[in-house]
Structure 1
């Protein structure tokens, strides 16, 4: 099956438009992405999902591929952004959010939203990926689980991030927003919370 673009239309007129990229290991129609897109659409956000070249090839061949080099990922994101009308926001899950945050100002987005940002590789907090987050050219939002191995609250608190970047922490969530059972929370609930915060951010609330 060849799928290059998915659009989740809200009921009624959209209040915001989001170009949304997937993470490194799962496609644009993974269960997480489906739940997130549906929750955003329910909050009047028009969501446009696409796949990077390596993931599109995986869909065609069935063989797993590592992510493309960053310049290729960025070029693919630029191409997709050129297909939609302004105003729009950009965002993504993990790696996709990182690419979006690096390009948002350049491609004229109103801002960016990252769902589970990879501040550093798990177990390697010294290898940060924050240089571009220290001086932004637009507004940004990162929604992060408090148990995310790619960046926890005590680690992120020590970063000198641009004041235009907003952080929202999901209690007990890990990288896919799955909470501890003992928390009494659910992944669906945390994804809903993430969508609510993101929709408010894009509507300027």
Structure 2
């Protein structure tokens, strides 16, 4: 992993958790376990931006690597081993919960968000889910929708998605989100693609602004 920013410390080899922990300077309002997509790791600039911004608003953030990335430095995850990636989410949430009594949020970008949402549908306890660029279907294959587990999500869930994301249009997402029994919100990022990383979109700041009232973690 790349060098951690100065306001974080590295977590490695702790109950199968590998990543970086961001601690807020002021009063703590929540905690967020945040993971990466299929093509990167927890040092992705976008994740660092989200972690830094949320931490500045009083959130303890653990950005962590999924099992497939801990096993190999590059390359995509294998579908047959996705259960191990979901277990990474569970371990990260448990570790974060051992550090703080603050309300816990779980989330991730793309593949990581999908795995996080699946752990929630399987019973993971959290006050909210943050799904950044949820990969609703493979690009150009809307018939391959990844929605079977969505009706099992009963906690507040914020979807953040670019209007130019090939993994799902806003209209497709709205239709899928309607199957979730818990409170939901879709934050559309006009003109953004799947990576959501352009500074002009202010995704880190805007996601916190929308998540805080939805998850009940406002100061």
Residue matched to 1:126: 143
CA contact (8 A) 1:39 1:192 kept: yes
Aligned to 2:4: none
1:29 to 1:169, Cα distance in 2 relative to 1, 3 A = same
Q: Secondary structure of the residue that 2:61 maps to in structure 1?
A: strand
1:113 aligns with 2:130: yes
Q: Runs of 5+ in structure 2 lacking a partner?
A: 2-9, 13-17
1:67 equivalent to 2:67? Answer no
The aligned counterpart of 1:83 is 95
Within-5 A mapping of 1:29-108: 29-59=43-73, 64-68=74-78, 69-85=81-97, 86=101, 87-104=103-120, 106-108=123-125
Q: State the 4+ residue runs in structure 1 displaced beyond 6 angstroms.
A: none
5+ residue gaps, structure 1, are: 180-184
Question: TM-score scaled to structure 2, two decimals?
Answer: 0.80
Q: Tell me if the contact between 1:104 and 1:110 (Cα under 8 Å) persists in the aligned partners.
A: no
Q: Aligned Cα RMSD in Å?
A: 2.2
* Distance in 2, Cα, partners of 1:49 & 1:9: 12
CA contact (8 A) 1:16 1:88 kept: yes
Q: For this pair of structures, how many residues does the alignment match?
A: 195
TM-score, with length taken from structure 1 = 0.84
Cross-structure match for 1:172: 191
Matched, 1:154 2:164: no
